[in-house]
Structure 1
């Protein structure tokens, strides 16, 4: 059995969220009585195998120090970099320095993570040699577009999955991947893509459609409803 001291949650919170069209970064918008980031931090603490949370923020972040954070678990602030991969790598490096063998990397803008999802992806991430990620089979018809937003072609959705977070990996695997592929490639939009570049195949763990990422205006209202639903479960 894995001990809880082996897993640290790394939350990527250094972005500015330009698509939200808000002066405040989306992770600091308030929904259901807390900021999005506070909800996300609380969500990853709901599994006993998570024994620390490492929040990666921008160097000039003025908001993090004002948050009301859980006192039941150590929470560390780490300064991020110019890209998501660079920021998450800083958090994972800190986790390894603290002695954590595994990390669960989560988006700050995913406040609706269910306890059951977290438990399932941690379980598989600790067991599978290439790690595991939460994901959803693609349900909608997918179109590839031309630059003028006309349809180029329809993409068969069989075998296509939408990546979610958390994504759980051994710290050594992630750091090896970034050493080989670097952290500046714009194609590295999640941690699994770096691991895939090593020729490894992480496990897909079925997530929930409520685990949305706040990206566009209006998403925060949907997230608030999901949070209320999860609190009743």
Structure 2
């Protein structure tokens, strides 16, 4: 069965304050290149992605402007101070031919190790289910803390998943869900949360544990290790020429 091709919105307007660098996190060097370059190269090398919209902060001076990555069209939009506003800006910047019923992906700029085969499975199974997201089952024992950072309880880990990206939803439904959350003053931490609040039940599609989000310097070191391991194994997907 042919897999539908979808556009991908990449919110990259945040400052990454928790990372503690002198520049936005997406421009921190990872294996000799800005982190976001690895992410965009991986997306552009994924056959089921038709194009990419990168959402930038107003006045962003770190962005290297271009119209394509390889054969994949690349657009930009100006984001907002919070994730939901930036994703909305990206959704509104999609080409006219991407209608309200079209499925679109949203992927974190700081997840450079996402696997192309995971994205393909998400598009295939998520679209059939009306929407979905990559996720990983929780395997560690979970503890709930009290106000003094002592263990208050051990939480069951059965049926618990960690949300990853990309996440896949119909453009019109996601716009409506995000706009509703904004109007109600709700802080949205991922697109699935907005869709859940609007009554949807997204499909959880298991993705690789290596699809980490770079939030701290330790995460950056792990991402570099994962990238170097892939490259050292001769996997051509990690080639460095696609974004040049």
Length-normalised TM-score, structure 2: 0.87
* Per-residue CA distance 1:117-171 (angstroms, 9 max, x = gap): 1111111222112x01000000111122223322222211110000000001110
State the Cα distance separating 1:46 from its structure 2 match. Answer: 2.2
Deviates more, 1:119-128 or 1:194-203: 119-128
Tell me how large the CA RMSD over aligned residues is: 1.9
Q: Is the 8 A contact 1:114 1:230 kept in 2?
A: no
* Per-residue CA distance 1:89-142 (angstroms, 9 max, x = gap): 11112226452522110000000011111111111222112x010000001111
Cross-structure match for 2:78: 79
Q: Helix, strand or coil: the match of 2:72? A: coil
Please give the alpha-carbon distance, in whole angstroms, between the structure 2 residues aligned to 1:115 and 1:56.
21
Cross-structure match for 1:215: 215
Q: Is the 8 A contact 2:115 2:211 kept in 1?
A: yes
Q: Is the 8 A contact 2:4 2:123 kept in 1?
A: no
Deviates more, 1:141-150 or 1:28-37: 141-150
Cross-structure match for 1:94: 93
Please give the alpha-carbon distance, in whole angstroms, between the structure 1 residues aligned to 2:48 and 2:204.
20
* Per-residue CA distance 1:11-34 (angstroms, 9 max, x = gap): 111111111111111111111232
Q: Is the 8 A contact 2:66 2:74 kept in 1?
A: no
* Structure 1 segment 9-20 matched on structure 2, within 5 A: 9-20=8-19
Please give the alpha-carbon distance, in whole angstroms, between the structure 2 residues aligned to 1:69 and 1:142.
43
State the Cα distance separating 1:66 from its structure 2 match. Answer: 6.2
Please give the alpha-carbon distance, in whole angstroms, between the structure 1 residues aligned to 2:98 and 2:65.
28
* Structure 1 segment 80-159 matched on structure 2, within 5 A: 80-95=79-94, 97-100=96-99, 101-129=102-130, 131-159=131-159
Distance 1:212 1:203, change over 3 A: same
Matched, 1:28 2:27: yes
Distance 1:104 1:230, change over 3 A: farther
Length-normalised TM-score, structure 1: 0.91
Cross-structure match for 2:239: none
Please give the alpha-carbon distance, in whole angstroms, between the structure 1 residues aligned to 2:154 and 2:182.
32
Q: Which ranges in structure 2 are unaligned for 5 or more consecutive residues?
A: 236-244
State the number of aligned residues.
229
Cross-structure match for 1:181: 181
Q: Helix, strand or coil: the match of 1:218? A: helix
* Per-residue CA distance 1:64-83 (angstroms, 9 max, x = gap): 13689723211111110121
